[in-house]
Amino acid sequence: MIRDRYDQEALEAQAEMERELEAEREREAAEVLEPDQFMSDAEADADALASAGWGTDEDYGYYG
């Protein structure tokens, strides 16, 4: 049970912050783009070569 007005205000403020955070998460999720939409041709080619086994050492986690 809520003891006084300050507890009620704190709960309302917390609920508002949670709603804002959820709205921000939804906006961020809506802004997610497909990888090909923001990769340059060189990046896309590098990914294709790496997936075919023609990547650099760094592509496989070796940084020497």
pLDDT band for position 2 (50/70/90)? low
What integer pLDDT is reported at residue 64 of this predicted model?
Answer: 67
Alpha carbons 53 and 11: distance in angstroms, whole number: 55
pLDDT of residue 9: 85
Q: How many CB atoms lie within 10 A of CB 44?
A: 12
Query: Can you give the pTM of this predicted structure?
Result: 0.41
Helix (H) or strand (E) holding 23: helix 5-30
Give the chain's count of helices (H) and strands (E): 2, 0
pLDDT digits (tens, 9 = 90+) for 17-64: 999 999 888 887 776 655 556 778 888 888 888 888 887 777 777 776
Q: Look at residue 19 in the predicted model and tell me its pLDDT.
A: 92
